[in-house]
Copies of this chain bind each other. A is one copy, B any other.
Amino acid sequence: MVRTRPLKVALLGCGVVGSQVARLMTTHADDLAARVGAPVELAGIAVRRAGRSREGVPGELVTTDALGLVTREDVDVVVEVIGGIEPARSLLAAAFEAGASVVTANKALLAEDGPTLHAFAEKHQADLYFEAAVAAAIPLVRPLRESLAGDKVNRVLGIVNGTTNFILDRMESTGASYGEALAEATALGYAEADPTADVEGFDAASKAAILAGIAFHSRVRLEDVHREGITEVTAGDIASARRMGCTVKLLAICERAADGRSVTARVHPAMIPLSHPLASVREAYNAVFVEAESAGRLMFYGPGAGGAPTASAVLGDVVAACRNKLGGARGPGESAYAQLPVSPMGRVTTRYHISLDVADKPGVLAQVALSFAEHGVSIDTVRQQGKDGEASLVIVTHEATDAALGATVEALRRLDTVRDVASTMRVEGE
């Protein structure tokens, strides 16, 4: 150990994740020192409200002066686990200005304003690590930024939000309604009191933006990601999926267009075959497929949330940032040289599962089929079911652009013989 003074880490936030980071930095101090090559110490822990006692967290380190902490001269690395846009952004800007490297778990900030953070890191020749921002301890950011740095990633597809996966899993396994499953998730601590960020897909969309950006070496922001949550998914959708050998999952899908000149990123519920590995991802687990030109199809699986797993990812990055500080080196910076534009959702090709309530009379199917044909959408299978003078049609299409599928559904709604377009859902993973 050449260096005399220890490396100092400032911790912003001491909630579920922060308290675990503080605990592990204390209990595993010897291992961290051996792996970094110098002692790693907590310089301080910034919290919003002082006075609360936090188990395993050294009280004398706690402060409410976050700005004072991150700008301290002796701080080498700032760990940010407070989340949200402000004050996180200002604090990280100040941290970079003061010469620190940054480790953050803040997916919202990265998806909203990642380039600004990267620019700060670049300007001050510091590190910006963010493994914990996507799928907690499942290594995804480092594999995409580093392991696959010599490859060409064509697709990232996976389950990146544990809360919604828990809800859909409960709906699937118990037949519960969305509301019932959400209530259970809330009671068990899987969903927050205000579940909007999860159930409306914002959390998954932020992660999709981050993954697409690093996978395609381009800038992808939250607003570029097509986003649909799971609040409209019904028990009927799940039963219908089951009838065709599928289940419903909230998927994040980032794809390079076939011509290689653009990318797409989207988050929406989709039916996937029960035989697909993602179908067996239960409860709050996450799993992500990465398809690369040379590597082939890789899958990463594990707990995608929680204090300890997220802290594990944070500490892995802290070790890297500390090693770099010690060696006068820098980890990988932003890589957006490819500058691929993000195409709108309408350009995505996908398949649809459509349930129609129709009049039970001759010629209805012909009329419906004509609507599909007029929009250039080819039908894969049709199932007709009669019930009490009414009938339902369940149609699964071949691949078509999302725009063509959307236009077809609009046209179906205008048909006299179609009483209701009961549900539409994309079909993936085949």
Q: Are B328 and A309 in contact, with the CB atoms below 8 A?
A: no
Q: Are A151 and B295 in contact, with the CB atoms below 8 A?
A: no
A294 part of interface (Cβ distance < 8 Å) = yes
Chain B nearest CB, measured from A376 CB (Å): 35
Residue of chain B at shortest CB distance from A306? B296
A320: which B residues are within 8 A, CB to CB?
146, 149
A138 part of interface (Cβ distance < 8 Å) = yes
Q: Are A131 and B149 in contact, with the CB atoms below 8 A?
A: no
A347 part of interface (Cβ distance < 8 Å) = no
Q: Are B303 and A301 in contact, with the CB atoms below 8 A?
A: no
Q: Which of B35, B147, B299, B306 contacts A299 (CB 8 A)?
A: B299
Chain B nearest CB, measured from A223 CB (Å): 25
Q: Are A316 and B139 in contact, with the CB atoms below 8 A?
A: no
A35 and B217 in contact (CB under 8 A), knowing A28-B152, A142-B142, A313-B147? yes
Q: Which of B136, B142, B301, B324 contacts A301 (CB 8 A)?
A: B301
Residue of chain B at shortest CB distance from A297? B302
Within the assembled complex, what's the spacing in Å between the Cα atoms of A171 and B337?
49
CB neighbors of B among A103-153 (8 A): 131, 136-139, 142-143, 146-152
A309: which B residues are within 8 A, CB to CB?
294-296
Q: Are B137 and A28 in contact, with the CB atoms below 8 A?
A: no
Interface size of A by CB at 8 A reads 59
Within the assembled complex, what's the spacing in Å between the Cα atoms of A280 and B280?
12
Q: What sequence of 0s and 1s flags, for each residue 199-219 of chain A, a beta carbon within 8 Å of any chain B beta carbon?
A: 000000000000000000100
CB neighbors of B among A271-295 (8 A): 277, 280, 292-295
Q: Are A138 and B298 in contact, with the CB atoms below 8 A?
A: yes
Within the assembled complex, what's the spacing in Å between the Cα atoms of A151 and B311?
9
Residue pairs across A and B with Cβ atoms less than 8 A apart, 23 shown, are A20-B294, A28-B150, A35-B150, A131-B147, A136-B295, A137-B147, A137-B298, A138-B295, A139-B147, A142-B143, A142-B147, A146-B146, A146-B320, A147-B313, A151-B312, A277-B280, A292-B312, A294-B312, A295-B302, A295-B303, A295-B312, A298-B301, A300-B300
